[in-house]
Structure 1
Amino acid sequence: MADAAALARRPGPVPAVDRAAGILLALGNGQGDASLSDLARRLRIHKSTAHGILATLARHRFVDRNPETRRYRLGPALAALGRAAVDRQDLGALARPHLVRLRRLSGETATLHLRDGSGSVILASEESANQLKVVAPPGYRLPPDAGAVAKVLRAFGPGEAGWPARLPAYTPRSVRDPARYRQELLRVRRAGVAVDDMEYLSGVRAISAPVFRGTPGRDAEAIGALSIVGVSARLSPAALRRLAGPLRDAAQALSAALAPDAGGSPPRPVRKGFRGEGRARG
């Protein structure tokens, strides 16, 4: 009964977005380009409505209009989005063997996070077989400055732009002082791994290593992080130290698979490092 009530409250489609999606699908059905009249007829909408939607899609290059024939076709922005989606799928597939090995080695959950705005998002994971475990579903987003992943992305990232005056207190163990956090990031750059000792979630420890597109230069920016995360009762500080080497090796191997000569693109340089920056070690 509760499920039926939740389903009844679920919002329906937004008409304008639904029609825009219909136009894109109609143009991508393999029949080539189409006129305004064709599209309005297929979607059973007024020509004025179709014209407004097409004008908006054209503004963002999702469709192109041939000025001579006045016919529409799919635009280059869709191709760019498609490539981005394929790149993420490929990265998840490349990471899978490393995630499986790290899960088997540690007995805990292994994840691959990618940068996502100011935070990060889980692209792929292999969860622990233990009944008591950290669940890490793909698509789950971590907030800025949350745990070991955030330390890696900060340490091998674009510097201090946008840092808050005080860092968030997720748990009583969270590092809130920016000066102390900066020193922690220097240690992360030297060690090539970051540790979260119950700083984001009480009773949970984690260790993360940076993933780059290829072998990183001094100012390379990490695109994401490989991590091992588990309950503190099993994942002790000693266990984190033991797992640091294998995790670092896995992150380096995944980075090498993303090198330009392996089909990736070169790493994006950091615009400005944080003060006191040390040399990166992958």
Structure 2
Amino acid sequence: MEDKKFTVRAAERALDILLCFVEKSEWSLTEIAQHTGLNKSTVYRLLVTLEGKGFLRRNPDTERYRLGFRIWELSANLSQSDDPAVLFLPEMERLRDELEETVSLYIRDGMERVRIQAVESRQTIRRVAPIGARMPLAVGASSKVLVAYASPETREAILNDPSWPESVDREQYRRQLEEIRRKGYATSMEEREAGASAVAAPVLNRSGEIIAALAVSGPVGRLTQEKMESFAPRIMEAARRMGKMVKGGATAR
């Protein structure tokens, strides 16, 4: 939990603006103001600052903003040995080619899971998986894997969080987590999104701590329960290989 006493409001607002670009690539000043709840004059001053530092660039014809090249300069310095989104990409591509469905990688961030990497299926009808998307922990195969393999203290904190949806029974969810730990993977059909199925397995480091959830997803008509059960051993094996690549501690938090 962040300590509000030590946050800088101007920095928070600038970061809120940058985080808009997780959702789409172009924004107008008015759209950013509406999305962040900030007034236009504040947004304008921050946009000018961010543009001046190279974090955003403005199209003079449309007056819309996009991410600037300074963002890419920062991302170029991510260490492949530390960043699972980079480190695991070749294994994810191999799994996609083998199973012919979309492969995603998720970490937990508080009460949400975040897709940090995705390799989309080459099928005509496929699951589109935007990187950076955030989803609740109460539903979905990947969410349940991230919670099932968290520490007991973390699991209880998640289940007892005030934001936990009343529509999801905690005791039933606990039973599902026990079954996932027993089997080593989770499946879901249309739990979060109509028409979509997913099967996920944990990526554990050498200390047995969860780093991420590796998931394969697709349309329910093609990714049936039977098909997901047949995919599970190969997904778990890919997750084991990924875990062996990592030296340090857990990423999912």
Alignment TM-score, normalising by the size of structure 2: 0.66
SS at match of 1:210: strand
Aligned-residue offset at 1:251:
0.8
User: What is the match of residue 148 of structure 1?
Assistant: 141
Aligned pair partner of 2:178 in 178, 186, 200:
186
Structure 2 equivalent of residue 240 of structure 1: 228
**More divergent stretch after superposition (137-146 vs 84-93):** 84-93
User: Conserved in 1, the CA contact under 8 Å of 2:101 and 2:122?
Assistant: yes
What whole-Å deviation, never above 9, does each CA across 1:58-107 have from its counterpart, x for those lacking one? xxxxxxxxxxxxxxxxxxxxxxx989954698422221122112212222
In 1, Cα distance between equivalents of 2:53 and 2:93: 41
The one-letter code sitting in structure 2 at the alignment partner of 1:109 is T
Q: Deviations over 1:22-79 (max 9, x none)?
A: 6899xxxxxxxxxxxxxxxxxxxxxxxxxxxxxxxxxxxxxxxxxxxxxxxxxxxxxx
Q: Which segments of 5 or more consecutive residues in structure 2 lack a partner in the other structure?
A: 1-26, 33-39, 56-73
Q: Which residue of 1 aligns with 2:126?
A: 133
The 5 A counterparts of 1:25-174 are 85-86=78-79, 90-157=83-150, 158-163=154-159, 167=165
Q: Which amino acid aligns with 2:115?
A: I
Contact 2:137/2:144 (8 A) holds in 1: no
Aligned to 2:214: 226
Return the offset for 1:117. 2.5
Q: Report the number of matched residues.
A: 195
- The one-letter amino acid paired with 1:199 is E
In structure 2, distance between residues paired with 1:89 and 1:232: 34
Kept in 1, the 8 Å contact 2:127–2:217? The answer is yes
Letter of the 2:178 counterpart: L
Structure 1 residue 197 corresponds to structure 2 residue 189: yes
Give the match for residue 177 of structure 1.
169
- SS state of the match for residue 85, structure 2? helix
* 8 Å Cα contact 1:145/1:168 also seen in 2: no
Structure 1 segments unaligned to the other structure (5+ residues): 1-5, 26-80, 170-175, 260-264, 271-282
Alignment of 1:198-213 (within 5 A): 198-212=190-204
Whole-angstrom distance in 2 between the partners of 1:195 and 1:246: 14
| TM-score (structure 1 length as normaliser) | 0.59
C-alpha distance in 1, partners of 2:252/2:98? 33
- Give the 3 Å change call, closer, same or farther, for CA 128–168 of structure 1 in structure 2: farther
Cα deviation digits, residues 137-194 of structure 1 (max 9, x gap): 111111222301110111011121142586465xxxxxx2211111110111111111
Flag the 1:178–1:8 CA change in 2: closer, same or farther, 3 A: closer
For the pair shown, the structure with the greater C-alpha radius of gyration is 1
**How far apart in 2 are the matches of 1:267 and 1:90?**
11
Contact 2:109–2:252 (Cα < 8 Å) also in 1 = no
Q: Is the 8 A contact 2:81 2:246 kept in 1?
A: no
Q: 1:18 to 1:178 in 2, by over 3 A?
A: same
Deviations 1:250-269 (A, max 9, x none): 1111111012xxxxx23489
**Residue number in structure 1 paired with 2:70:** none
Residues 133, 269 of structure 1: alpha-carbon distance in 2 compared, 3 angstrom cutoff: closer
SS class of match (2:157): coil
